[in-house]
């Protein structure tokens, strides 16, 4: 499997890694993890729990863009160090993004988010570059 495809796999796993602190925050909210109404419980979270929820949702939102970018590069047979670098940089940006969101470092988190988004867009444009 190619480096970009491994990165898609890792990015998919990061969606669920992002869920772990959210589930912990929900459990610690007071009455444990409410499996009957988890979305309602998530909506009531504040502080770290709310940030964990937002980080998890953002991981879901950005994943399709990245996966499409990798697939566009692959189906147009654009391979090489540039595509590999963009894919790896995206994964690194997502790991940093999660940590920065959980740590409440908003300005740095936004910068890292932009880097990840640029990686996705450049992957999509790789056939014409």
Return the domain boundaries, the chain: 3-128
Provide the residue-wise pLDDT of the chain in tens; the chain has 129 residues: 899 999 999 999 999 999 999 988 888 877 788 888 888 898 999 999 999 999 999 999 999 999 999 999 999 998 899 999 999 999 999 999 999 999 999 999 999 999 999 999 999 999 998
State residue 110's pLDDT score.
97
Which CA distances in Å does 103 have to 44, 58, 92, 93?
A: 19, 16, 17, 15
Tokens of 27: 């459990």
Residues 5, 91 contacting (CB under 8 angstroms) = no
SS3 at position 98: helix
Architecture of domain 3-128: Up-down Bundle (1.20)
State residue 54's pLDDT score.
96
């Amino acid at each position: 499997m190619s480096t970009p495809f491994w990165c898609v796999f890792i990015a998919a796993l990061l969606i669920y890694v992002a869920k772990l602190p959210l589930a912990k925050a929900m459990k610690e909210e007071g009455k444990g993890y409410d499996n009957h109404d988890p979305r309602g419980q998530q909506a009531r979270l504040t502080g770290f729990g709310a940030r964990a929820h937002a980080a998890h949702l953002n991981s879901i939102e950005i994943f399709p863009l990245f996966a499409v970018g990798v697939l566009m590069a692959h189906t147009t047979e654009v391979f090489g160090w540039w595509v590999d670098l963009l894919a790896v940089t995206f994964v690194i940006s997502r790991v940093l993004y999660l940590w920065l969101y959980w740590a409440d470092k908003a300005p740095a988190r936004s910068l890292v988010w932009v880097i990840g988004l640029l990686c996705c867009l450049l992957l999509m444009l790789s056939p014409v570059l």
